[in-house]
Amino acid sequence: MEEDIIALLSQGDERGIELAAKRYGALIRYVIKGILGNRENDIEECVNDTYLKFWKNYDSYDSAKALIKNYLVVIARNTALTKLRTIMNEEKHIDGGELSDCAKEYVQHGMNPEEKAIEKENLELVYSLVNNLKAEERELIQRRYFYMQSSKYIADKMNMTVSAVDNKISRIKKKLKVRYDERCSGKDGGIKTWTIMFL
């Protein structure tokens, strides 16, 4: 298990981070690279930021809930996405060839920040609904929107055709819409929000 890392980090020993980096460095880099493409310098920066954030926030780590690698992957993904947002603000043109189609769409969306799709509290509801999907459905959505993998990549990894991936994701989104509407039926603007989301 990860007791050796936890033991070191609990004592404030930086060697815990070194050990985590040794074990999970390739994984973290892989996750970040999936979002940032071939921007090596940015990837390197995000990898280091991931360790730093985990180190600084180690007090909030709960080993009963998840493994360290899960925490690191979540931090890495969010760090890479934050980096992508920064890049979008700083660079007028981003070479889309380096990014997955999901990331490309995200980049294009980022160019129009006034198009805020949904309120934060509703984002949490969306997340909880996604989390209650069946395992395969959840993996599809996670691969697409958490890891930002392309349809072709997902198809290859999940033994499906590209069109099957797109079709299934489309169906899942429809299903989520129904559930979301049900949950929001008592709230003002819930249905309206989804209308925007699924346009």
Partner 1 sequence: MDNNVFVDAYDNARPEDINVECIEKDMLEEQKKQETQKGLINELDNYQLDSIDKNKAKNDGVVIVMNSNRRRWPELMMLTAAAFVVVILATFISKELKKDNDINVGDNNTKTPAAELALGNFKEEFSESNQAADFYKELDMTEDILNINIEAKVEWVEGDYAYLTYMNEENIESSCKLNYKTHKVETEYSKQEISEGTSCIFMYDSKIYRAVLGDYNGERGIRIFEPDDVENVLCFIKASEGSFKYYTGGQNIVFKLSDYENEYPISSRVVRLNLKSMEASEIMSITSEIINQSDAQDLADMNKKFRYKFNSDSDNMPYEGRGGYASSIHIASVDKEGFYYQLPNSKGLKDTYYYSFDKKQHSKIDGLSGSNIDYLMYADAEYAVYKESKGTIHIADYSKSKIYTIETKTEYGVDEYYGAGRFGDNQIAIGQYSVGFIILDFNNMTYHYEDTRSNMSYEWRLTQNTEGNSFLQLMTGNSNSLILGK
Alpha-carbon torsion 144, 147, 153, 157, what sign?
negative
Q: Taking CB under 8 A as the rule, does residue 139 contact partner 1?
A: yes
| Site track for partner 1 across 168-187, x = CB under 8 A | --xx-xx-------------
Whether 14 and 55 have beta carbons less than 8 Å apart is answered as yes
Distant-in-sequence, close-in-space partners of 145: CB < 8 Å, separation ≥ 6? 102
The correct pick among 157, 187, 189, 191 for binding partner 1 (CB under 8 A) is 157
Residue 8 is encoded by which pair of tokens?
């070191």
With CB under 8 A as the rule, give the number of residues binding partner 1.
61
Q: Taking CB under 8 A as the rule, does residue 99 contact partner 1?
A: no
Write down the least CB distance from residue 190 to partner 1, Å: 13
Site for partner 1 in 19-58 (CB under 8 A): 23-24, 26-27, 30-31
From the list 81, 74, 63, 64, the residue with the least C-alpha distance to 24 is: 74
Number of C-alpha atoms within 13 angstroms, CB side, residue 166? 8
Backbone angles phi, psi at 171, to 5 degrees: -65, -40
- In the complex, which residues of this chain contact partner 1 (CB under 8 A)? 1-2, 23-24, 26-27, 30-31, 65-67, 69-71, 73-74, 77-78, 81, 102, 105-106, 109, 115, 117-118, 123-124, 126-127, 130-131, 134-136, 138-139, 141-148, 152, 157-160, 163-164, 167, 170-171, 173-174, 196-199
